[in-house]
Amino acid sequence: MLKMTENDLKEIFALFSSPTDYELTNMIYNPSQKLFYGNEDLNEEYSLTQDKKEFAEDSLRAILYYLVKHGFEIRKGNEILDMKFIKELFI
């Protein structure tokens, strides 16, 4: 079972709410940046202004990136999926 810490949830939220490659590469994992995932306040409210399809795509992008970054493999049946495409999901 995968246990999520508060820090894990902060990272996932930052990935979800920062869809650009620039934010991913230069801000989410840089402690000196405002968008650094460790700065997220999970008790704040967050409003969505996107349709359900965009929400689903952003959620999937964030979770897949988080899992691969932390060394998880994604399988479909007995086949391990090549996840190199994930970084391309950030615009």
**Percent of the chain residues past pLDDT 70, beyond the cut:** 100
pLDDT tens-digit map of 20-31: 999 999 999 999
Residue 61 · residue 18 · CB < 8 Å: no
* Residue 65: per-residue pLDDT: 93
Helix axes 52-69, 6-17, angle to 10 degrees: 130
pLDDT tens-digit map of 49-91: 878 998 898 999 999 999 999 999 999 999 999 888 888 888 8
Query: Total structural domains in the chain?
Result: 1
> Is residue 41 included in any domain, yes or no?
no
Domain residues for the domain of 18 are 6-32+47-89
Q: Which pTM was predicted?
A: 0.84
> Is residue 37 included in any domain, yes or no?
no
